[in-house]
């Protein structure tokens, strides 16, 4: 693959409700700042990808309403309705196809709609939606399947919440920096067994943007380029019951392809920091297994051993992860942005020392129906 | 420069989108819903290529990408593969919380079937046996199965 790089990033602080900003305002804000970060003017941007969803925005063809805020006036603009990692994937492909630069921008205001109605809307209207199933209840089914398969416990899942909310204390963009104990998580309000309030990510507002450039365009950027070494995504069955929920096959395939592109043969040794989509506490160990960092069922074990903690062998979610801020669709871009900051050595108090290769990850669909894996390198 | 927005109190505007749809169920789905309504039977379909028995029945095997011919009856009993007890009520729910969602491997099928357990959800465990109970008044709807019951 030709060398392409992320050369500019920006994100809003993530908050429960941004009453003072419309989503247009947020998109304008992060677009301006991503350009500033890259040291580019709008003239340096060849094409724009916006990432939005009609249900979350409460507006059909929601992308049309933010194109000018994204600097796309008079430009080639296209849209991805899905997680930011998938939108950025499309942006990267456009650079590989011949554009010099792509600006990718995502926004979401979870505060404006009702996440239960909206996530119920992702399910089949004939067989599943009338049952009232939503993102949290379907995730709880996956957690149940995972626990029964491998004997994982709620206390082990709680450790992930404790770790990630603790990491968020060193991330000024995070919404929920918290000092928690396993007991705090265990005593939090039951939502859908085995998930309790502190096993679940919050409702969030926010936006994020990044600029992807060809090698020659990257030379003109102000920042040290962070190279895209491998990217892949893969999907599996739509119906929950058609999948083995405790075995994320689509993630295994996406990771295998991304590692192949990046020349990674031993991910545990060669990847120094991971930012993954922990919409619920149990997802972090399950996705770590899918990424091949440990054997099936051992994800909770490496969490217990401190492997994934700050200062551990392979810190996972130094940003605080999705548990600490969940602007839907933006969250995957936030994972890439954190990986970029880590590789630039600009992650401040949460910097993982010696991070040269990072993995960023996003999901689409209930319980990780599809996964997108990014391998980024600072060299 | 004076900040001209310094003293603004941000407002919100309330709205709602309620749009009617009429979704086609298709031939395969219709045979499933009609069997629920008229015969209190749960229909499935089997892929001849890989042998997977799907419920609700499919017209094509998503894995083999081939046509599926014919249908068969599965259940009404099955084994719980995963469950969750919903503690918080919401207008979307077909039952008063607490109630449970279950993925049931209906006897004779190879995939999980998503439905609810209204009562006795405290007896649920992965691996436990459940049975579909039908409503007296049926309309050709997924909730013609009123609930699964722990047996």
Domain boundaries, chain B: 26-150
User: Where residue A84 falls among pLDDT bands split at 50, 70, 90?
Assistant: very high
Closest chain A C-alpha to B86 CA, distance in angstroms:
4
Distance CA A44, CA A95 (A): 13
Give me the torsion for CA of A255, A260, A263, A264, rounded to 10°. Answer: 30
Q: Distance between CA atoms of A181 and A187, rounded to whole angstroms? A: 10
pLDDT at residue B6, rounded to an integer: 86
Q: How confident is the model at residue B1 (pLDDT cuts 50, 70, 90)?
A: low
Token digits of residue A179: 């000092």
At residue A1, the pLDDT reads 74
- Residue by residue, DSSP assigns A306-320 as TTTSTTSSS-B-TT-
Q: What is the mean pLDDT of residues A63-92?
A: 96
Q: What is the mean pLDDT of residues B91-120?
A: 97
Residue B11 to residue B87: CA distance in whole angstroms: 33
Q: Mean pLDDT across chain A, nearest whole number? A: 97
Give the pLDDT of residue A379. Answer: 82
So what's the pLDDT on residue A62? 87
Q: Does residue A21 sit within a domain?
A: yes
Closest residue by Cα to residue A174 from A277, A320, A10, A30: A320
Q: What is the pLDDT of residues A310-356, one digit of tens each?
A: 999 999 999 999 999 999 999 999 999 999 999 999 999 999 999 99
Does the beta-carbon distance from A192 to B85 stay under 8 Å? Answer: yes
* pLDDT, tens digit (0-9, with 9 covering 90-100), for A104-151: 999 999 999 999 999 999 999 999 999 999 999 999 999 999 999 999
Gap between the terminal Cα atoms of chain B: 74
Mean predicted confidence (pLDDT) in B10-32: 94
pLDDT digits 0-9 by tens, A192-212? 999 999 999 999 999 999 999
Span A250-261, pLDDT tens digits: 999 999 999 999
pLDDT band at A76, cuts 50/70/90? Answer: very high
Q: Give ipTM to 2 decimals.
A: 0.96
List of chain A residues whose C-beta atoms are within 8 Å of the C-beta of residue B112? 240-242
Judged by CB atoms closer than 8 Å, whether chains meet at A130 and B142 is answered as yes
Closest Cβ–Cβ partner in B12, B17, B87 for A58: B17
- Residues B33-71 pLDDT 10s: 999 999 999 999 999 999 999 999 999 999 999 999 889
Which residue in the block uniquely carries the two structure tokens 């979307």? B92
The C-alpha of B120 sits at a distance from chain A's nearest C-alpha, in angstroms, of 15
Tell me what pLDDT residue B2 has.
67
Residue A167 neighbours by CB under 8 Å, 6+ apart: A310, A317, A318, A319, A320, A321, A324, A350
d(CA A284, CA A277): 7
Q: What is the CATH number of the domain that holds A26?
A: 3.40.47.10
Yes or no, beta carbons of B62 and A242 under 8 Å apart: yes
Q: Are residues A271 and A316 in contact, defined by beta-carbon separation less than 8 angstroms?
A: no
pLDDT surpasses 90 at B145: yes
User: Considering chain A, what percentage of its residues have pLDDT values greater than 90?
Assistant: 98
Q: Tell me which residue range forms the domain holding A11.
A: 4-114+203-218
State residue B3's pLDDT score.
87
Q: For residue A369, what are the contacts with CB-CB under 8 A and spacing of at least 6?
A: A235, A236, A237, A238, A243, A250, A363
Contact call for B126 and A148, based on CB within 8 A:
yes
- Per DSSP, chain A holds a count of helices (H) and strands (E) of 13, 11
Structural domain count, chain A: 1
B115 and chain A: CB distance < 8 Å anywhere? yes
Residue A76 lies in a domain: yes
β-sheet bridge partners, residue B60? B67
CB contact under 8 A, B62 and A126: no
Q: How far apart are CA A297 and CA B98, in angstroms?
A: 30
3-state SS, residue B95: coil
Kind and range of the H or E element at A342? helix A330-344
Q: How far is A199 from chain B (nearest CA, A)?
A: 14
Paired tokens of A184? 């705090």
């Amino acid at each position: 693959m030709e060398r392409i790089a992320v050369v500019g990033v920006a994100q809003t602080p993530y908050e429960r409700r941004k009453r003072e900003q419309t989503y247009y305002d947020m998109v304008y804000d992060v677009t301006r700042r991503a350009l500033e970060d890259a040291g580019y003017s709008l003239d340096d941007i060849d094409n724009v990808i916006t990432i939005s969803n009609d249900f979350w925005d409460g507006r059909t063809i929601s992308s049309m309403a933010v194109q000018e805020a994204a600097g796309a006036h008079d430009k080639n603009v296209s849209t991805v309705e899905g997680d930011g990692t998938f939108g950025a994937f499309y942006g990267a492909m456009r650079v590989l196809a011949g554009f010099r630069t792509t600006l990718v921008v995502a926004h979401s205001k979870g505060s404006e709609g009702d996440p239960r109605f909206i996530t119920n809307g992702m399910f089949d209207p004939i067989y599943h939606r009338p049952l009232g199933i939503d993102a949290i209840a379907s995730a709880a089914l996956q957690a149940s399947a995972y626990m029964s398969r491998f004997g994982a416990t709620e206390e082990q899942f709680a450790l992930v919440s404790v770790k990630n909310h603790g990491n968020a204390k060193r991330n000024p963009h995070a919404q929920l920096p918290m000092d928690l104990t396993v007991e705090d998580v265990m005593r939090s309000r039951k939502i859908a067994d085995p998930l309790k309030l502190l096993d679940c990510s919050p409702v969030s507002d926010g936006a994020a943007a990044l600029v992807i450039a060809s090698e020659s365009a990257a030379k003109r950027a102000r920042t040290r380029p962070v190279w895209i070494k491998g990217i892949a995504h893969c999907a599996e069955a739509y119906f929950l019951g058609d999948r083995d929920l405790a075995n994320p096959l689509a993630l295994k395939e996406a990771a295998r392809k991304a590692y192949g592109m990046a020349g990674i043969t031993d991910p545990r040794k060669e990847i120094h920091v991971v930012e993954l989509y922990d919409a619920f506490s149990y997802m972090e160990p399950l996705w770590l297994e899918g990424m091949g960092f440990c054997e099936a069922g051992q994800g909770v074990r490496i969490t217990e051993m401190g492997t994934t903690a700050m200062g551990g062998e392979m810190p996972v979610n130094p940003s605080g992860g999705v548990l600490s801020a969940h602007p839907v669709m933006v969250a995957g871009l936030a994972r890439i942005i954190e990986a970029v900051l880590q590789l630039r050595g600009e992650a401040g108090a949460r910097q993982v020392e010696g991070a040269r290769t990072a993995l960023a990850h996003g999901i689409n669909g209930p319980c990780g129906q599809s996964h997108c894996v990014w391998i980024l390198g600072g060299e | 420069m004076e900040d001209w927005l310094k003293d603004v109190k941000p407002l919100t505007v309330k709205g709602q989108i309620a749009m009617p749809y009429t979704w086609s169920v298709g031939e395969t789905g219709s045979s499933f819903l009609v069997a629920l309504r008229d015969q209190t039977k749960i229909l499935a379909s089997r892929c001849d290529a890989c042998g997977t028995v799907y419920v609700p029945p499919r017209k094509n095997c998503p894995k083999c990408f081939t046509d599926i011919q014919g249908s068969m009856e599965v259940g009404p009993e099955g084994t719980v593969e995963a469950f969750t007890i919903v503690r918080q009520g919401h207008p979307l729910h077909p039952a008063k919380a607490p109630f449970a969602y279950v993925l049931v491997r209906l006897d004779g099928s190879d995939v999980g079937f998503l439905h609810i357990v209204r009562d006795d959800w405290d007896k649920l465990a992965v691996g436990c046996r459940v049975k579909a109970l039908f409503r007296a008044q049926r309309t050709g709807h997924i909730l013609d199965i009123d609930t699964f019951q722990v047996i």
